[in-house]
Every structure is written in C-alpha cells, then in structure tokens.
Structure 1
Amino acid sequence: MSLAFLFIRSRCLPFIALVGLLSVLFLGATSTAQAQIEFDREPISYSDATPRDPVAKLQERLKQGNIALKFDDEQGYLKSVLEELKIPASSQVLVYSKTSFQLRKITPERPRALYFNDDVYVGWVQDGDVLEVMSMDPELGAVFYVLHQDQLEMPRFIRDQGQCLTCHASSRTQGVPGGLVRSAFVAGDGQPHFGAGTFTIDHRSPFDQRWGGYYVSGSHGQMRHMGNAISPSRQEPEAIDREAGANVTDLSTLVDLDPYLAPHSDLVALMVLEHQTQMQNMFTLVSMESRLARHHDGIMNEALGRENDYVSDSTGRRIASAGDKLLEYMLFKDEFALTSPVSGSSEFTREFQQQGPRDSQGRSLRDFDLKTRMFKYPCSYLVDSAGFKSLPTPAKQYVVTRLHRILTGQDTSEEFAYLSATDRQAILEILTETQPKLWDDVVNEAVEEEQGTVAE
C-alpha cells in the first residue's frame, strides 16, 4: 500500500483494498523484503494475533451496537469514520498518483484523499469501492483494513489477510508491517514513471525530493519540491516544472476541490505524516526485535539448562542496535535543515499544537519551529504514544535510560553532538513534567547497576 499511501503494486490486487489507503502514505511501496523480520512466527504471529489497534476497538463497538456509522451519498462512511476515530479534516492531503488498487478512479483531476491522526490513516477515493485504513497496533505495528462503501445495516472493517504486506513489510518500512511516504515523477494520467526512480521520504529527506504525486498547499520560500507538478515526457521524466508548483496556497486552480472535506493538501500535514510513519515503524522494529530475541533466549535457556530470565549477549546487542536506531530518528538526527520558513494553508498547524501535553512553562513537543527545522524541540511527540509506551521492558529500559543520559549530558556520543545544551535541557524538562513516570526505567537501571556492583 501506499500512504503515498502506499504504492500498491499489481500483485497486491487480490485484497488490495487495504493496500490502497496506504498508497497515500506509501506512495509506491514495491517489495524489497530482504530486511524483513519474521513476524509471522512466534512470539509475534502477526497474521493470527488479535489486534488491539483503534480500528479493531471501533469494530468491537460497532459489533456490540454501542455506535452506528452514518452513510451519505457523497463520501459514504468517510465523515462518520473520521468522527469516531477523532481524525481531523485539517489533516487532509491529496495524492494524484495511481498508487492504489483503485487506480482506475485516480487521476490528477480526481486525487485520492488521505486523513490521519497519531494512530490511524484513512484513504478515500471519489466513487471508490472502499475506504482504505491503516491502524497502528502497539505490538503488531500497522494493521490494514477496508470498509466497503455500500450502505449496510452493519458495516464491517475487513482485515487484510497478508496481501498488503507484500508492499508494506519491506526494507522501506524497516522490515516490519508499516507505512511510508514515497515521492515519484508522475505523468499526466497519474501513472508514476517508475523507471525514473522514487524516493522514500521522511524528515531527513532533501526538500527537492519530496511530494512527487501529491498536491501541496503552503508557502516554503526559495525551497522547491516535486509536488503540484506533472512529468510531461517518458523520455525525460525528471523534467518537471518545480517553479510552477511552488508556494501554491490555493489549489482550486489545479483541481476541483468541491468533492473533498477540505480545500487543501497542507504542507505541514505532509511533513508530520512523513515523520510519523517512519517513527512508528521504528517502534515496531524495536518491539519485534526485542520479542524475537527474548523468545530465542527462552528456547536456548531451556535447552542449555540456564535460568529462565537469562539474557544472552547477542540479545542485548540486538536490542541495543534497534534501540539506538530508534533514538537517532526520535531525536531528529540528520534532519534536513530548512533554508526558508514554511507554513501550511489550513488549521492543521494550530490544531496539531493544541493537543499538548504542555509543561508548566507552556512548552510541548508538538510545538513547531518551521523556520530552520520542523519542531522547536527536537524529540518526537510520539514518545507519548502507545507504540512507545508498549515497548517490551528490556527495550524500553534501554531506550529510556540512554535517552536520559543523552539529555543530561552523561552520554557524550558524537552521533548526538548536534543537540545543543539548550535543546537537551528543554526536552528533559518537558518530558519530566509531561511524563513523570518515563524515567522509572532509569531508576530501575541504576538500582540494578548498584546491586550488581555490591554483589561483585
């Protein structure tokens, strides 16, 4: 899928309805699975496990008759689904590349719309057969669903049976079930020129590689991107008019916006989207690596007659490696430095920042900078998400303990030298006030180290 959503490839077609949504997110996920984790075996058992993601919970409420979805002739169940999942219309971004299984209904004149919050992504196509949904489970990662756009007494979200994972569990998603945002050179009919290459984008990506196949509304000064542009030639697909697509604040001159919930495809929403999808993939990577490693230790401990809670050196290294990768991304290592201020064209920026939480000085990890970098305080707001809070204890303890050492200056590793003392102090204070239990794992680690020293 492609939250592009997800570039859904033709071989995903059998059940690609799910995949479609992710086409908006993952504009063009092809299958390169050489780094894929074996998440369909114990202890994860992705396909057989009962999900606990927001859509699974919504489905249970529907089943119990606690709520009912409302249907309308224009967008089907879209408005009702967004309302129940608390997804704002201001998050709308529009994708005109043919990167969904509903590709015949998608063109630059009829783009697919994507809506999202911290946990769920919903894709809608004009006159589409289904709503496409990707929902984040704290242990399974991305879980994919479709909801048929037929008026029924009891509508039901249908979970993908694995076809979506052909595209959405690859090296582009850290080898786990997840989402990604991709950028491509797109022809006038919406078909990407795959031969010209595509870009998987996040907050580290150069600005000029972003958003090919997307409409983009907002201001960005002298920087240029690939959005709002059509590739006129198969022979020279990269020859797009970036200038014409720059600093567009009114999309009505490019596309008919009447069928959509909002008149924009907000630049800041796109920036948040591309950061968020890979951050969630990192959480899933750490979770699955930790669980698989500990499961292997359990088998070996039994076979070798070791204590049940024995942790091998290889497991420790495996958890640390994944944890370090998460920390670098969470603390915005190698973030692309903005060379011009950027601003969106909707209420997304204001509404996103209002979600908090805030410390006694009124600061939040959701506060934007948008002048030289995305956020004022370079630590992902998703540290307050279920994906982070549900990390297995050994992995969470490693990540939180090292995070504390980085922020307090005890960890002087060169890879985090870019963080100023002011940034470290601000992040530490915000986290300490808004998540008072976060550092419990640091205390536990310190106690364990002290006990180990005394024992020696």
Structure 2
Amino acid sequence: MKNCPGFGRMKLFMSLIICLSLNVEVMAQVDFDEPPISYSSAPTDNPITKLQKQLDEQEVTLRGDNPRDYLGSLLDALDIPKSSQALVFSKTSLQLRKISPKRPRALYFNDDTYVGWVQGGDVIEISTVDPSLGAVFYTLSNSMPDRPEFVRDQGQCLACHESSRTHRVPGHLMRSVFVDHSGQPHFGSGTYTTTQASPFEKRWGGWYVTGQHGALRHMGNVIANRNDRLETLDREPGANVTDLSELFDVDPYLESTSDIVALLVLTHQLEMHNLITRAVYETRSAEHYDTIMNAALDRPADYRSESTERRIASAGEKLLQCLLFADEAPLGEVIEGSGRFREEFEARGPFDKQGRSLRQFKLEGRLFRYPCSYLIYSDSFDALPPTAFAYVGRRLQEILSGDDTSGNFGHLSQDDRSAIREILSETKSELFRASDDQHQKVPADAE
C-alpha cells in the first residue's frame, strides 16, 4: 500500500482534513474539560489540597468555640491576613439569601486564596488558584467539624466564574451593582465588571468601603433606588466613610473595616490571576495541537507552528499589560486606608538591597510605587509553561531596558523601568535567565 503512487497524496489529503478540523476546535473556546487541561479530572495541587493533607495527618488543626473564631483559625492556617477583609452586601454569591446590608458577606484573601464567610451560613466558601488549572472552588462546613473536609465544587460555581468576564477560563471576578435595602441588585440599572481599568465612579456598588479618597466618588456604601442609573446615583453618603458601625453591627466580624486599599489590591489581583490562567490554557492548548499535527504531518516533534507562536504571544501580551498596569485607571486623589492592611501587605516583600519592593504603595496617581505586579512571585506565575514564561521574560527585558517604549507601555517612565528591572534582577532573576536560555522568537507585535 505504501508503494502505491497515490498513497502520498492520500496521506497528505487526510492530514489536511485533520488540520482543518483541529483548527476549528482551536479557534473556538477552549474546552478545558478535555486534554490537555482536563479541569474536572486532573489532579489538583494548591493551597487547599495541601492544607487538607496537613489536616488529615493532624499536622494542623482548626479550632474555635464559635463560627467566627473557627473562621479565624482557617485564615491562620492559610496565612490569610484578617486585615484583608472586604464586605459585600449584594445578593450576588452562593449563600445569597443570608446576605443583606445588615449582614454582609466577608471576603478575605492572600496572593492565591480567597475565603468567603456569611453569618449563619452553612458553609465557608473558598476559591484558590491551582497553578495548572486556574480557579478551583471548595466549601467547608461551618459547623466546626472535628475532621474538616474541603469539598470541591462540581461545576455550580462555573456558572458565574467562567465567562467572558473571566476571559473564558475558570476564574474570579468583582462586580459592581445597584443594590436595594434588602441587598437585591437592580439588574435593570446595569452592572459593571470591576478591573484595574474601571473608572473609579463605577466601582464597588454593593460593597462596603472604608477609607479616605478625597473628591473621588465610588458606588460603595450606597443603597440605590429602583430607577437609579450611574448618572443619578447619589454617592455622597458613601464617600470617605471610616466607621461602618452606624450602618450595621460590626461585632460578628473579624475586623470592623472594608479597607479601600485592600479593595484596590483585590481588584488588580483578580484580573491578574485570570490572565495568568488564560496564558496557561492558551499555551498548553496550542502546544497540544502542535503535538498532534507534528505526528500527522511527520514534522519534528519539537516543531512549533506560526499559529501557536501567535497564540502564546497574544496571551503573553495581555498578561504583560495587566502585569505592568498599562490599563490602570488613574487615581486622581490621595488614597488612605482605614486598617492594618497596607502595613501588613507591604511587609511581605521580597525586598532588594535598597529596600525596594513591588508591594510598596504609592496611592496617589496610581496604586503601586513600582508598577509591576507582585504576583510575578506567585506559584501560578511560576507555573506558566516554559515557552510562555520565557516569552514574558524576554518582553519584560525589551520593555524595561527601553527598547520598547511605544504602544501599551508608554506610561512607564525611564525611572520606573530602571527601578523595576533592578528589583526583578535581584528578586526574580530566573525570569530573565529563562528568556535568555530559550531564545524565544515569538513575534512581539502579535494581536
């Protein structure tokens, strides 16, 4: 058969059919329950699975005489600061019937894990970033069991946490809504997905916000009328609030604040995590596609197609824009928090020899003194596939060295570029080494 004159043409024809069908799949939404992602069935390795193992082996215990203290014990076990508390009073999450302006939901977070707690709730809600899978969702019984067990969500959470708002990957999102006295959103008035690019006046509807922000106005702390729209909403009662005790009973909560600085950090972090996950999914899917096509077309196993290079570059550029705050909405006033969050966040470092850190705040004009995300140190960033990791490292060198001063990165001054490069050279040197070692040739101008 192989000696048949038409065999070569038949093989080529069949390969082209395979290529065409696979291209249809690649161009469509990534099916992350199929290889190479296998979201629902792949093994997990994240802070929750690690804590579960410690609990099972009795290396760690969760204690508390009441649900509030039990929550505090969980946060301690996950190294989540209580000062990160953000309070949401809109009915927009799992246990919505128990949430209201008088009984807001509390959210706590560190660099990779988010914990949601509702007064009288049946469960504590947890989401964490698995380096290979993105956001993974769990619940923990709020009845303070002797043998705590985290239960992984079987898809219910993805109804909200996988959409265009999360870049079509399992992710996280912050919504701003118009809320009535019961906490019910007026969806007819519109909703906003909040990212670091969002105008200040569209942020935090349905959230409590404590801190000083001068003449800036947000939607937080405000009850809306049914016919309110963005232009008619009275924001003044919610501005520059530092004491929430007049709005609801703060005693059941671990903190009395919903710190504006923590909310600004959370806003950035949610989007950044989603874009890291998107880069992981795009790169793994594109390289998986190349593996299949290389075998079908008798190409070298390590051959990388032009379409794969473009996909890696496109995801990498979106990640870089968020990483370097290219789309950050300017802060036109000095921002001042109302709790311990700023101090505790900045203390986490790492620091270079001059005592500089990517966690240091500016809070006037922009969020951070050095506009490069601290999540560059996260496990999820480190788990980027080698080609994506190297691409981001190479592009960072081009941007920070001043070779690329146009387009999306024109907001960075020469002092910004120099400082960020010096900090990363001391605290994240492997990023630049990876890009040098692999000699990536992915086009930097990919769309």
Give the TM-score, by structure 2 length: 0.90
Superimposed CA distance per residue, residues 298-324 of structure 1 (whole angstroms, 9 cap, x where no aligned partner): 011111111111101000000000000
| Structure 2 residue 156 is the aligned partner of structure 1 residue 128 | no
Aligned twin of 1:304: 297
Residue 394 of structure 1 aligns to a residue whose secondary structure is helix
Instruction: List per-residue Cα deviations over 1:195-233 (Å, max 9, x = no partner).
Output: 11111112111000000000100000000000000012x
- Partner-residue secondary structure (3-state), 1:75: helix
1:332 aligns with one of 318, 325, 330: 325
Deviations 1:29-83 (A, max 9, x none): xxxxx98531111011000011111011111111222222113224263111101
Match of 1:431 in 2: 424
Kept after mapping to 2: 8 A contact 1:36/1:169: no
Alpha-carbon separation, structure 2, partners of 1:356 and 1:152: 35
Q: How does 1:162-173 map to 2 (within 5 A)?
A: 162-173=155-166
* 1:144-168: CA deviation from partner (whole Å, max 9, x where unpaired): 0000112322110000011111110
Q: Deviations over 1:347-369 (max 9, x none)?
A: 00011000000111111000100
The alignment status of 1:388 with 2:414, answered yes or no, reads no
2:184 aligned with 1:188: no
Residue 401 of structure 1 contacts residue 445 of structure 1 at CA under 8 Å; is this kept in 2? no
Aligned residues with identical type, % of pairs: 56
In the other structure, the counterpart of 1:397 is: 390
Distance, in Å, in 1 between the alignment partners of 2:338 and 2:427 is 30
SS at match of 2:363: coil
Offset of residue 237 of structure 1: 5.1
Q: Deviations over 1:419-438 (max 9, x none)?
A: 11110000000000111222
**Which of the residues 144, 147, 159 maps onto 2:140?**
147
Which residue does 1:235 correspond to in 2? Answer: 227
Alignment of 1:331-410 (within 5 A): 331-410=324-403
In 2: Cα distance, 1:418 partner to 1:268 partner: 22
8 Å Cα contact 1:92/1:262 also seen in 2: yes
The answer to whether the Cα contact below 8 Å between 1:35 and 1:170 also exists between their aligned partners in 2 is: no
Note if contact 2:209-2:241 (Cα within 8 Å) is conserved in structure 1: yes
CA distance in 1, matches of 2:316, 2:244: 41
Distance 1:236 1:443, change over 3 A: closer
Within 2, Cα distance between the matches of 1:304 and 1:236?
A: 60
**2:20 alignment partner in structure 1:** none
Partner amino acid for 2:337?
A: G
Residue aligning to 1:12: none
Measured in 1, the distance between the counterparts of 2:288 and 2:429 equals: 31
Q: What SS is found at the alignment partner of 1:293?
A: helix
Does the CA contact (< 8 Å) of 1:36 and 1:176 recur in 2? Answer: no
The question of 1:282 aligning with 2:272 is answered: no
- The answer to whether the 8 Å contact 2:98/2:118 transfers is yes
Partner of 2:59: 66
Letter in 2 for 1:440: R
Partner Cα separation in structure 2 for residue 406 and residue 344 of structure 1? 32
After the TM superposition, which residues 78-93 of structure 1 pair with which residues of structure 2 at under 5 Å, given as runs?
A: 78-93=71-86
Alignment-mate amino acid for residue 160 of structure 1: D
Which residue identity does 1:399 align to in structure 2?
V
* Matched-pair contact (CA < 8 Å) for 2:166–2:173: yes
Q: Which residue of 2 aligns with 1:248?
A: 241
Establish whether residue 157 from structure 1 lines up as the match of residue 161 from structure 2.
Answer: no
TM-superposed CA distance for 1:341, in Å, is: 0.4
Question: 2:10 is matched with which residue?
Answer: none
- Select the residue among 204, 226, 233 that pairs with 1:211: 204
Q: Which of 192, 203, 217 is the equivalent residue of 1:199?
A: 192
Determine if contact 1:76/1:151 at 8 Å carries over to the other structure.
Answer: no
The answer to whether the Cα contact below 8 Å between 2:190 and 2:229 also exists between their aligned partners in 1 is no
Pick from 285, 308, 314: which aligns with 1:321? 314
> Which residue in 2 is equivalent to 1:27?
none
Letter in 2 for 1:220: H
Cα offsets for 1:316-349 (capped at 9, x unmatched): 0000000001001111012111111001100000
Name the CA distance, whole Å, in 1 between partners of 2:33 and 2:242: 45
Per-residue CA distance 1:373-428 (angstroms, 9 max, x = gap): 00011111101111111100111111110111110012243221221111000000
Q: CA deviation at 1:99?
A: 1.1
Q: Partner letter of residue 236 of structure 1?
A: D
Gaps of 5+ in 2: 1-26, 442-447
CA 1:76–1:49: 2 relative to 1, 3 Å:
farther
Retained in 1: the 8 A contact 2:128–2:136? yes
Q: SS of the residue aligned with 2:127?
A: strand
Amino acid at match of 2:41: D
User: In structure 2, what residue type is equivalent to 1:295?
Assistant: H
Given the alignment, which residue of 112, 115, 124 partners 1:119? 112
For the Cα contact (< 8 Å) 1:76–1:149, is it kept in 2?
no
Structure 2 CA distance for partners of 1:209 and 1:167, relative to 1, 3 Å: same
TM-score under structure 1 length normalisation: 0.89
Larger CA deviation: 354-363 vs 95-104: 95-104
1:171-212 Cα shifts (integer Å, max 9, x gaps)? 101111110111001011100011111111121110000000
Tell me the amino acid that sits aligned with residue 235 of structure 1: N
Tell me the number of residue pairs that the alignment of Structure 1 and Structure 2 aligns: 414
